[in-house]
Amino acid sequence: MIVDMPATSTQQVSRKLVELREQGGVLALGRVLTFVVITDDSTNTEEAIEAANEASRMHPCRVIVLVRGAKKAAPRLDAQIRVGGDAGASEVIVLRGYGPLASAEACAGMTIPMLLPDAPVVAWWPGVAPAVPAEDPVGRLANRRITDAAAEKNPVKALEQRTAAYVPGDTDLAWTRLTLWRAMLTAALDQPPFEEITGAVVDGEPDSASTDLLAGWLAGRLSVPVKRTKVGAVGGMHSVRLDRPSGPISLVRPDAKVGTLTQPGQPDRLVTLARRPVRECLAEELRRLDADESYERALAGLAKITRGRAPAGARK
């Protein structure tokens, strides 16, 4: 069910929510958190809502979507409430503010009456995020703050901003997309021979924030020289090579879908490394509400990596 409420107020929206719960039996008591999505007219809001709905099937929540409309328009609040089949395992409240109601302060003010009592708050910026998410008026309300450097005009510069502005509770979907890569590399190192890694090379698209983060993670965890190379365009990450005395461990994904894990003395293994959809990344991030120390170390490790070009013929 979708209920449109043009030119309304947060008080009227709250009353309508109570009315819908009484009529349809949709109870907020089963919600485990409040998920706030902050977008504007430059962001595909419907895609963001769909991703939030899918993630809510694993983490039932109230989804509040704040859409910042034209700032030069007359002050107006248009709302929409989605429940039942149109809202996944959540109830979705879309608040679109115009004029003064499109400001960050106004968005926070509209959010507060809609928060579930005694429930944690997670904020997500699917598009351009504030320079310091923790100091944003909505970010200050949240236990966790999710950004996406890949959605920025300059992902690498955005990642630099994340590093400078990091506060425990921050995370980025560019990091979440690396879960399969990190799991594969960790599993490979857990197998004999248990030798010390002497260096690493991480290769990917020039503007791939995920590639930078993986290089930073290796530099921080292994305390060895890590080189970040940039060659061509393959859809983000391309390959990782971990050097050790008996021979390198390499994980190569030439087509952005299937990777090949190569280790000395073992047959090559094909592994699935397709780019993870946003809904899966969100579902993973909503599993935890504490600080992500691994992400923090990966950001810190960015200062330790060196950069250069991959050797000719490195990419097939």
pLDDT digits (tens, 9 = 90+) for 119-128: 999 999 999 9
**pLDDT more than 70, % of the chain:** 93
Q: Identify which of 216, 252, 217, 249 has the alpha carbon closest to the alpha carbon of residue 231.
A: 252
Q: 118 is written with which tokens?
A: 């005694």
Work out the average pLDDT over 21-31: 63
Distances (CA, A) of 5 to 9, 14, 22, 189, 242: 9, 12, 18, 56, 56
Tell me the pLDDT band of 30, cut-offs 50, 70 and 90.
low
Report the C-alpha gap between 80 and 93 in whole angstroms: 6
**227-269 pLDDT, tens per residue?**
999 876 667 899 999 999 999 999 999 888 899 999 988 999 9
Burial of 262 (0-12, 13-18, 19+ CB in 10 A): middle
- How much is the pTM? 0.92
Phi/psi-derived region of residue 84, left when phi > 0, alpha when psi is between -120 and 50, beta in every other case: left
**267-316 pLDDT, tens per residue?**
999 999 999 999 999 999 999 889 999 999 999 999 999 998 655 544 44
Rg, C-alpha atoms of the chain: 22
Span of 81-90, 166-175, 249-258, 277-286 with lowest mean pLDDT:
81-90
Give the length of the chain: 316
Tell me the pLDDT band of 131, cut-offs 50, 70 and 90.
very high
Type of residue found at 53: N
Report the C-alpha gap between 264 and 301 in whole angstroms: 28
Residue 309 has, within 13 A of its CA and on its CB side, a CA count of 4
Report the C-alpha gap between 41 and 68 in whole angstroms: 7
So what's the pLDDT on residue 314? 47
Domain range summary for the chain, segments of one domain joined by +? 2-147, 179-308
Q: 146 is written with which tokens?
A: 């999710």
